[in-house]
Structure formats: C-alpha cells, structure tokens
C-alpha cells in the first residue's frame, strides 16, 4: 500500500518545487543574474586585492564565489553542446542543387530532424527563388502529413502572383501558421486571394482564405473580417468572417463560425455556428426569437427550412 503524500512532501506541489534543492538554487542564481553576477564580481575583486579577512572567512567567500559561478559555467557547457548538436542537423549548400525534388540555390540552409539528414524539417532560402513554379522567399516548411494525407510545403510567396488561375496574395496571412501551402506537384492547396475572384460560382472578396477541396472533401472558403459574399442558392448574403464549405460542383454544404454571426435565410435569422445544407433543406439554430407555427421559439432552437417552399419548422418534427 502506498502512503498518501503528506503536507510538505516533495511529491506534492508544482513540478518546479519537486526538483532537487540544488537544481532550484542553480536556476535562481542564473535567473537573477543581475544580482548574483555583481555580488560574485565584488567578492572576487575584494579577495584579489587582499581584503583583510581571516583564513576561514576567505574560504567561505571563495566558496560563495564558486557557488555563484558554477551554474553559469554549467549553462555555458549545455549551450555549447546543444548548439553543436543542432549544427549537425543543418546543411548549407555551397552550390545550386536539387533537394527533395526542388531546385535550390547555393546558400540555402536545410534543417533536418536528426544528424543522419533523413527527415526534412525546413529550408531557409537565401533570396527569392522559383520553387516548383512558385516564387517563394524566406523559409519553406515540409509537412509529411497535411489534411490527413497530403504531403505539402508551406511558405511565403515573395509577391502577389497568379497560380493555377487563382490570384494569390504574397507574404504571410497575419498568423504564424497561415502561409501559402502547395503540394509536391506545385498545386496550391491553401492561399489567400489577392483580388476579388469568382470561384465555385461565388464572387469571393479579396482576403478570402481558400483551402482546396476535391471529390471527397469540400473547399473551405474563409471570408475576411470586413466582407461577406452573396450566396445565390440561398438568396442571401453570408456574413463576413464565416467559413463556407463548398463541394466541387459548387453546392454549399455548411457554414461555420466560432463567432456565431447571424445569416438570414427565407426571412429566418439563423446562427452561423451550426448551419448545414442538406439537398434543398437548411438545418440550423435560431439566432433570435422567431415565430413558428404560431409559437415564438427562443434563440438556439433547431429549425429546418425547405428552400423550395420556404416552409419553416422545428427540426425533428
């Protein structure tokens, strides 16, 4: 039987407090270097210039200086070892070379996951470079798995450019993870529109983030925060900031948004957080009180709208 930990037991409390005392002391010395370094320096200077200390006191002073200096020396050794290990995972090209199916210029720095250089992480380009027909700059990141199966590259377009008939915006999209994504054939899988563009029978505004779909997966069209888009099939306008899931045949399947904007369909105010199109029917939740069959239903009530007849009823009836 294992005894439960008692108050003050080293097995309780935050992880830092469960570390050995000497580790915590060393961390404090390095963490508060602006205090410990001046103290160690003053004690060393005083000892060097022959402060009139009794023998035992001098040894105590030297011990304190050594205790204050040792964590810094250990930290320096750790940093040197770590830097050497990381350096072994990098390779710098001294001439133009084709690596992992793409032509790279001299000066490119390739980062691997291990010293054997078998698993690629990223490539730092020395300047703007054509990669699979796409003008890229900065860092290319390799993804073994993206959207379940596709192997892709992600990176920053050097400038606005047309790729596969789509006007793609250069630069990052404003978030660390949002970069242009393209597969090993140079087909763009995710992009931000640099201009208004008609796609899947929708006139998408500039700034729409487009994620490519296929026969098994719908396209994701994330609208910018300052512009909506007309949806002819629903005879309404999707609000700014929502994401439209559209099949390759142009049929809207779903609208999603964590902000819960209101979209009005056949006069019914619906919540975009839970909006589905099933054939000729829309299933969603009310965004505001609405009269159905003589009774006012509260926000959040699930409703079904028949697009052909404009009939509205509670879902499940």
> Can you spell out the DSSP letters for 270-288?
EEEEEEEEETTEEEEEESS
Is 74 in the same domain as 112?
no
Could you tell me if residue 306 is inside a domain? no
Cβ(248)–Cβ(215) below 8 Å: yes
Using DSSP's 3-state secondary structure scheme, residue 65 falls into helix
The residue that leads in pLDDT, 287 or 64, is 287
Domain limit, last residue, from 219, 246, 262: 262
Could you tell me if residue 292 is inside a domain? no
Q: How confident is the model at residue 285 (pLDDT cuts 50, 70, 90)?
A: very high
**Of 46-55, 171-180, 261-270, minimum mean pLDDT range:** 46-55
Is 191 in the same domain as 109?
yes
Distance CA 261, CA 288 (A): 11
Rounded to an integer, the average pLDDT of 143-161 is 89
Is 137 in the same domain as 206?
yes
Could you tell me if residue 293 is inside a domain? no
Using DSSP's 3-state secondary structure scheme, residue 210 falls into strand
Domain limit, last residue, from 262, 283, 303: 262
pLDDT surpasses 70 at 154 = yes
Domain limit, last residue, from 40, 68, 87: 87
Using DSSP's 3-state secondary structure scheme, residue 57 falls into helix
Could you tell me if residue 268 is inside a domain? no
Q: Indicate the number of domains in the chain.
A: 2
**Of 112-126, 209-223, 231-245, minimum mean pLDDT range:** 112-126
Per the structure, the complete domain to which residue 169 belongs is given by 97-262
**Of 79-83, 163-167, 216-220, 236-240, minimum mean pLDDT range:** 79-83
Distance CA 117, CA 37 (A): 40
Is 50 in the same domain as 187?
no
Q: What is the per-residue pLDDT for 147?
A: 82
Write the Ramachandran bin of 234: left for phi over 0, alpha for psi from -120 to 50, otherwise beta: alpha
pLDDT surpasses 80 at 259 = yes
Cβ(81)–Cβ(73) below 8 Å: no
Distance CA 161, CA 154 (A): 16
State how far the alpha carbon of 245 is from the alpha carbons of 80, 164, 237, 257, in Å. 50, 20, 15, 11
Q: What is the per-residue pLDDT for 125?
A: 95
Could you tell me if residue 137 is inside a domain? yes
Using DSSP's 3-state secondary structure scheme, residue 262 falls into strand
pLDDT surpasses 90 at 210 = yes
Q: How far is CA 128 from the centre of its chain?
A: 23
Cβ(29)–Cβ(36) below 8 Å: yes
Q: How confident is the model at residue 223 (pLDDT cuts 50, 70, 90)?
A: very high
Q: What is the per-residue pLDDT for 265?
A: 95
Is 255 in the same domain as 124?
yes
Q: What is the per-residue pLDDT for 198?
A: 97
Is 67 in the same domain as 116?
no
Could you tell me if residue 60 is inside a domain? yes
Q: Over the stretch 109-150, which tens digit does the pLDDT of each residue have?
A: 999 888 887 889 999 999 999 999 999 999 999 998 888 778
Rounded to an integer, the average pLDDT of 202-211 is 96
Q: What is the per-residue pLDDT for 2?
A: 45
Is 81 in the same domain as 145?
no
pLDDT surpasses 70 at 67 = no
Structure tokens at 199: 């796609």
Distance CA 234, CA 307 (A): 8
Could you tell me if residue 52 is inside a domain? yes
Is 168 in the same domain as 254?
yes
Q: How confident is the model at residue 1 (pLDDT cuts 50, 70, 90)?
A: very low
Could you tell me if residue 275 is inside a domain? no
| Average pLDDT value over all residues in the chain | 83
């Amino acid at each position: 039987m294992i005894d439960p930990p008692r108050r003050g037991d080293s097995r309780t409390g935050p992880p830092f407090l469960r570390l050995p005392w000497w580790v915590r002391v060393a961390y404090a010395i390095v963490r508060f270097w602006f205090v410990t370094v001046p103290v160690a320096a003053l004690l060393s200077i005083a000892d060097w210039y022959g402060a009139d200390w009794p023998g035992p006191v001098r040894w105590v002073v030297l011990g304190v200086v050594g205790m204050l200096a040792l964590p810094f020396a250990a930290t320096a050794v750790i940093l040197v070892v770590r830097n050497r290990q990381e350096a072994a995972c990098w390779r710098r090209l001294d001439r133009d070379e084709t690596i992992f199916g793409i032509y790279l210029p001299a000066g490119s720095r390739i980062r691997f996951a291990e010293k054997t250089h078998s698993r690629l992480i990223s490539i730092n380009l020395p300047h703007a470079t054509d990669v699979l027909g796409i003008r890229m700059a900065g860092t290319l990141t390799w993804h073994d798995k993206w959207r379940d199966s596709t192997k892709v590259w992600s990176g920053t377009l050097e400038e606005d450019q047309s790729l596969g008939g789509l006007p793609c915006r250069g630069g990052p999209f404003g978030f660390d993870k949002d970069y242009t994504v393209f597969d090993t054939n140079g087909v763009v899988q995710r992009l931000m529109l640099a201009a208004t563009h008609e796609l899947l029978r929708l006139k998408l505004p500039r700034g729409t983030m487009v994620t490519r779909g296929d026969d098994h997966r719908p396209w994701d069209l994330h609208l910018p925060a300052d512009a909506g888009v007309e949806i002819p099939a629903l005879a309404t306008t999707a609000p700014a900031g929502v994401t439209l899931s559209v099949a390759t045949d142009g049929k809207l399947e779903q609208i999603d948004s964590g902000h819960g904007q209101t979209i009005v369909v056949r006069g019914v105010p619906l919540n975009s957080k839970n909006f589905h199109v099933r054939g000729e029917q829309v299933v969603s939740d009310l965004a505001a009180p609405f009269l159905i069959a003589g009774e006012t239903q509260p926000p959040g009530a699930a409703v079904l709208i028949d697009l052909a007849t404009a009939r509205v009823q509670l879902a499940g009836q």
